[in-house]
């Protein structure tokens, strides 16, 4: 069992190393930033942005999609822990671009007899999905109006970042869209 392997490594030094790494790090992110990205095993967020513990909040899921739950965490992060910027980072060759939401749903239904109530939010183009996520955050009424939201696609081979869209502040987008 892999969980046994993880617990063995925790005992063998993981706990000690984690405690040592966390020493001096505050729970409040020093850079006041949230990074939303994919759960892909190849993405090392700390290394990618030259970060140490205590500097940002990192939210990860399949695809780095801005879901209801990501919004929930960003709002808590802002209100309770003082963050003001959000980076949404999807990546090339993402597994979420290899199937469609409908096909996935059908596969599950064929196997278990019912479709899931949730969606996978699979996407064909990571740049399009990042733009949607950025737009969603900019329009969300619970995010602070001064929130800076930026989106990027990470090249999973060179690890270069390409910015998606502009840097319109949250408040203005909200006003424009409700007008």
Question: Do residues 104 and 122 make contact, with C-beta atoms less than 8 angstroms apart?
Answer: yes
- Which CB sits closer to Zn ion, 96 or 173? 96
Least Cβ distance, residue 69 to Zn ion (angstroms): 17
Place of tokens 């007899």: 113
* Distance separating alpha carbons of residues 81 and 50, to the nearest angstrom: 21
Q: Name which of 91 and 138 has its Cβ closer to Zn ion.
A: 91
- Phi and psi angles of residue 150, each rounded to the nearest 5 degrees, phi first: -130, 145
Smallest distance, Zn ion to C-beta of residue 164, A: 15
User: Binding residues for Zn ion, per CB under 5 A?
Assistant: 38, 40, 94
**Separation CA 31–CA 57 (nearest Å):** 9
* ∠ CA 158-134-34, rounded to 5°: 70
User: Least distance to Zn ion from the beta carbon of 97, Å?
Assistant: 8
In whole angstroms, give the CA distance from residue 27 to residue 57: 9
94 vs 143, beta carbon nearer Zn ion: 94
Least distance from C-beta 156 to Zn ion, angstroms?
A: 8
For Zn ion, the closer CB: 123 or 137: 123
């Amino acid at each position: 069992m892999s969980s046994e392997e993880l617990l063995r490594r925790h005992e063998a030094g993981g706990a000690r190393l984690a405690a040592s790494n966390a020493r001096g790090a505050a729970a409040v992110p020093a850079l006041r930033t949230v990074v939303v990205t994919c759960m892909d095993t190849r993405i090392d967020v700390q290394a990618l942005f030259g970060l140490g513990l205590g500097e940002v909040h990192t939210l990860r899921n399949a695809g780095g999609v801005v879901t209801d739950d990501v919004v929930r965490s960003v709002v808590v992060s802002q209100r309770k822990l003082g963050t003001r910027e959000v980076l949404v980072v999807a990546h090339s060759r993402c597994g979420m671009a290899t199937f469609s939401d409908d096909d996935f749903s059908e596969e599950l239904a064929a196997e278990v007899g019912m479709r899931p109530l949730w969606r996978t939010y699979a996407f064909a183009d990571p740049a399009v999905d990042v733009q949607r996520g950025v737009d969603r955050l900019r329009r969300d009424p619970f995010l602070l109006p001064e929130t800076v939201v930026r989106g990027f696609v990470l090249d999973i081979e060179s690890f270069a970042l390409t910015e998606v869209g502009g840097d319109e502040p949250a408040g203005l987008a909200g006003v424009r869209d409700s007008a």
